[in-house]
Chain A
Amino acid sequence: MLTWANFISQLFNGLALGALLALISSGLTIIYGTLGVLNLAHGAMFMLGGYAGYVAYQHSGSYIVAVIAGTLFLFIVGIVMERVIMRYFYKRPPEDQLLVTFGLSICFVELVRFFFSSMSKTVPAPKIFAGITNLGFMFYPTYRLAVVGIVAVALIVLFVVLYRTRLGLIVRAGIEDSVMVDSLGINVDRIFMLVFGIGAMAAGFAGIVNAPVVSIAPDMGEAILVQTFVVVVIGGVGSFPGAVLGGLIAGEIICITSMVNPAYAYVMLFAAMTLVLMIRPRGLLGVKGRE
């Protein structure tokens, strides 16, 4: 069972999962860094992305349409959630923010369960990525290879937005010192709305891209949310590079441990988190601004 081909294939699985976790965690971490809100509904948004894509696929039969529709839908969900609920919670204690996002996550999950039942649904991989690729030393599902590429592109886009645009500059400044950004006369209101939308979009995009790999179910977000927390704790809250690094580390730990004994995958993941907390409580690449 412990063969080289098996090991390398798990390494690839880890890369795919890690890239996915990196993208979802970036969404969580920029929302937290900029707005100071830990969104407990982030896992549910990942799940919603999958379902939005599923519905779009059912109607159009096109993978591309499904990805675009799912992503846009989550952008809108994020903006509506920020405008209708979250903005009234910025001045309230962090516990209230946790409670309300937790409540919303339950609403999202139950809403989906209400309309789509608890049965899992599948979205097929697009034709060009269907089947198996021969990598010479092993066979690997083509779509999983594609996921790594697609998510890498999404991460690069997110990087460009964060590090090469005016919005990104403000977001990064906000993570360092939000009070200062407020006092510079920047329209924080609009920025907050956009950041929440982009964060939700990142989770939703990951949700739909991941849908052909594993089937989607209403409660799939919970496990992802927990893994995302570990990623953020390992990488450092508010750090985009930290989210990417933490995501890859978490993905590899889960997949490589699974190869030996799947039962210990989570145990190893949390052992790694504990180790990081012992050595670098702020996370590997954590910034000092947000606590």
Chain B
Amino acid sequence: MNADRLGNTQRRFLVEALTAAALIAAPFVLPLFGAAPDTVNRILVWGMLGIGFDILFGYTGLLSFGQSALYGTGGMVSAYLLTRAGFPHVVLALLIGMIAGAVVGYLVGLIALRRTGIYFAMITVAIAEMFFFIEFNPLSHWTGGENGLPGVPAPSLYLGFTTLHFRAGWTLYPFLAFCYFVGIVIALRIVRSPVGAIFRAIRENPLRAEAVGHNIHGYKLAAFVIAAAYAGLAGGLLGVMQGFMPPDAFMFDTSGQLVMQTAIGGIGTLFGPLVGAGVWLFLQDFLQSTLNLGAAWKLVLGLAFVLLVFFLRHGLVGAARSVYGLATGRKAAAAAPEEQSPVDEDSAPAAESQATLAPVTLARHRASHSFSGPILQTRGLSKNYGGIAANVGIDFSVEPGELRGIIGPNGAGKSTFFKMLTCEVSPSAGTITFEGRDITGMNVTDVCQLGLTKSYQVNQLFNRLTVRENLIIAALAELRGKLKLDMMRSLSGIPGLEDQVRHTLELVNLSRRVDTPVAELAYGEKRRLEVGLALASSPSLLLLDEPLAGMSPRERIETVRLLKSIGRGRTMIIIDHDMASLFELAERVTVLQEGQVLAEGTPDEIKSNPEVQEAYLGGVHEAMAQ
């Protein structure tokens, strides 16, 4: 995973090199353990199918039980071309099968991704089952029905001076191993690309990924199509490997076995499915022939699988990684401060330069929209929940560069007001204008792309990722727009990303915690990262929903200082209950009560406003006057 980080170029091709070495060594080493060549080839095909599935499930968090449909589709298309259609070129037929898988995957994804979570899983099960029936009956003329398509030829490559023939067994192995290698190299690039980072963000917290400005539906569909392309190619390879395309590739069991193998090997590791398939096929063989368990082998595997899900959450590759981590733990701990010191050296001069450059905002990379007048304006903004009016006819406007505070008793409708501004909630009536543009009815992603974003009252972070990865995800939305499929580009190749992340780290004072996973941060640090996530997309208008909530007095003082420095050259609106801090920060304050604007003015005006005192102190004045 180190290779995922920015600037770490030394170990960049380590995984690729090790994979190549292992694939080359396999035909010399594995026979010593009694592995049959067909078994090894079969493991490679499962591994190929699994690469795509792991990108979909392990990285993007979408558990699909529908891979069999795409596996079968790709396989049938290339097998049909090579047998009935008499198409001579095997490699080209495999590629066409892959494309067929991807196209069908796109269509299936359009339906299945209409829902998330458990619904998604159920829909994929249903779709897989439908494909099985379609293949078996209406399309049996083309697919051979229950007989499948026999006579799929093995590939041969004409290299100009000689022709390579791959037949079966070990002579086919180099072809499959090469395909797997190309597959894994591409997959590694994808998971290290900006798209891969966003996939992980979707897995960790889809709502926040959307709110920082990524079109998550588009990215999910991309992950689905990638998985489908791998499945389509793997299906074609299955036909080539067996010389026969079996109809049972379409069966739900195929999807189920894939899911189990991936879980056994390790989810989110890319190599997990390959390892899982190896273990699966080895155990099947061992239990069936050596232990003479006959058909009961599947029961033993099923029980083993349940135990594994219970105790080994990250599968065998994950377990190996933690054992390795434990063994080298001391070394890593000793190395950590050393690794940190260059960061400190880096940040020291940066901090000085920041002192001189402090008022400069992060440059917005997208074309600035010219407008005059207030940066934000609402007219008659209202929200009703059933019979309850949370906001009633709010007229509100903020000038560019202003630092506005909003206060009000609990239930005054402050958070609802913010949710409407960021378009998380659509208003019942009224309009919102941002930089002269009507944004009423837009969605949260587009609004963030325009430069209006919010830090949340309750932390919404990407928990299993590091501080740096969190900020990268937010910064990417601003640098790349809401949807861009630059899957072959590495993160370090994006101009301005590193600067923007470093600058944000300095602003929220987390430069020393760069590579710490969010789950290990202290509460105050998480709170600062929450603000950092909003800042990293360099908004022109930043909303902060109770940034001081739950902080100790010392943390509050630090955070107020932090907010002051962030506020320079930026427009911000802050909601908070800590009035002393808010009056210190804000230039103007708006008071909400029962969903309406009660008063607006400078902190001093608000402090001396009798209506505000009445609202907060609830008639104590009269009681005291008597």
Contacts and interface: CB of A to CB of B under 8 A. Distances in A.
A80 interface: no
A114 B302 CA distance: 13
A237 B118 contact: yes
B138 A106 contact: no
Interface in B293-330: 295-296, 298-299, 301-303, 305-306, 309-310, 313
Contact of A99 (B61, B111, B119, B259): B259
B63 A95 contact: yes
B313 A113 contact: no
Interface string B277-307: 0000000000000000001101101110110
B134 interface: yes
Contact of B115 (A85, A110, A281): A281
Interface in A71-113: 85, 88, 94-96, 98-100, 102-104, 106-107, 110-111, 113
Secondary structure type dominating chain B contacts: helix
B299 A229 contact: no
Given A102-B259, A111-B299, A229-B122, A270 B116 contact: no
A232 B119 CA distance: 9
A38 B313 contact: no
Contacts of A226: 125-126, 129, 252
Contacts of B252: 222, 226
A251 B338 CA distance: 67
A110 B298 contact: yes
A98 B133 contact: no
Given A94-B117, A263-B137, A110 B302 contact: yes
B344 to A, nearest CB: 37
B123 A266 contact: no
A28 to B, nearest CB: 10
A38 to B, nearest CB: 5
A226 B69 CA distance: 14
B126 A110 contact: no
Contacts of B11: none
Nearest to B307: A103
B123 A103 contact: no
A15 interface: no
Interface string B45-59: 000000000000100
Given A38-B118, A263-B138, A88 B299 contact: no
A102 B129 contact: no
A38 B115 CA distance: 15
Contacts of A107: 299, 302-303, 306
B123 A233 contact: yes
B256 interface: yes
A278 B121 CA distance: 17
Contacts of A94: 117-118
Interface residues of B, number: 41
A102 B252 CA distance: 12
Contacts of B122: 38, 229, 232-233
Nearest to A36: B118
Contacts of B296: 110, 114
Contacts of B306: 85, 100, 103-104, 107
Interface in B98-155: 111, 114-119, 121-123, 125-127, 129-130, 133-134, 136-138
A32 B121 CA distance: 13
B130 A270 contact: yes
B260 interface: yes
B309 A100 contact: yes
Nearest to A228: B122
B408 to A, nearest CB: 25
A232 B118 CA distance: 11
A130 interface: no
Interface in A212-231: 222-223, 225-226, 229-230
Contacts of B130: 266-267, 269-270
Nearest to B57: A95
Contacts of A96: 309, 313
A163 B303 CA distance: 38
A273 interface: yes
A182 interface: no
Contact of B126 (A32, A103, A104, A230): A230
A38 B121 contact: yes
Contacts of B309: 96, 99-100, 103
Interface string B334-361: 0000000000000000000000000000
A238 B303 CA distance: 30
A39 B115 CA distance: 18
Nearest to A237: B119
B124 to A, nearest CB: 10
Interface-centre pick from A94, A110, A118 (highest chain B CB count, 10 A): A110
A47 to B, nearest CB: 14
A44 B267 CA distance: 26
Interface-centre pick from B57, B123, B301 (highest chain A CB count, 10 A): B123
B263 interface: yes
A266 B133 CA distance: 7
Interface-centre pick from B122, B296, B303, B310 (highest chain A CB count, 10 A): B122
Contacts of A273: 123, 126
Interface in A251-267: 262-267
Nearest to A104: B306
A267 B101 CA distance: 19
Contacts of B298: 106, 110
A265 B132 CA distance: 12
Contacts of A169: none
B254 to A, nearest CB: 13
A277 interface: yes
B26 to A, nearest CB: 29
A127 to B, nearest CB: 36
B119 A233 contact: yes
Given A102-B259, A106-B298, A230-B126, 5 more contacts: A100-B310, A102-B260, A106-B305, A263-B136, A264-B138
13 contacts: A38-B122, A99-B260, A103-B260, A103-B305, A106-B302, A107-B306, A110-B299, A223-B129, A225-B125, A226-B126, A266-B134, A270-B126, A273-B123
Interface of A: 32, 38, 85, 88, 94-96, 98-100, 102-104, 106-107, 110-111, 113-114, 118, 222-223, 225-226, 229-230, 232-233, 237, 262-267, 269-270, 273-274, 277-278, 281, 291
**Interchain residue pairs A-B with the least CB separation, the first 3:** A263-B137, A110-B299, A106-B302
